[in-house]
Structure 1
């Protein structure tokens, strides 16, 4: 069984502040730095998601790009 509750950050903070000290310590131990870093690394920003879904250049396309770039650079210098 799963329950989803939609509350704001301020409401959550107020609820945590009402907890007894022992429960706050327990919550802190569960939400340690390792957990937070793992959670943050799993949440990709829209830009990161965009970059990961972008097309990838093949080795042949990259070699052609380098060659074209070299040709353009020599053409500009003349």
Structure 2
């Protein structure tokens, strides 16, 4: 069984500040850098979602792009 509680950040912070020092230290160690970084890497930002939703080249378009790049490179060197 799972229970979810919707509380604002300010309420959560106020509740944590009321905890005894030992419990705050325990909470802090449970939320170490590794856990926070892993959690942050799971969540995508709006910009990341925007990039992931963008157009993608297929193999034929990529081959044409490489060919064009080769032509532009030789044109610039002349």
Same fold by TM-score greater than 0.5 = yes
2:5 maps to which residue? 5
SS for the counterpart of 1:54 is coil
RMSD over aligned Cα atoms: 2.3
Structure 1 unaligned blocks of 5 or more: 73-78
Give TM-score, length-normalised by structure 2.
0.75
Runs ≥4 in structure 1, deviation > 4 angstroms? 68-72
- Which piece of structure 1 moves more, 7-16 or 56-65? 56-65
Give TM-score, length-normalised by structure 1.
0.75
Q: Give the aligned length.
A: 75
Deviations 1:30-74 (A, max 9, x none): 1000000001000101221232233421232122134456768xx
Distance 1:36 1:71 in 2: 47
2:49 maps to which residue? 49
SS for the counterpart of 2:19 is coil
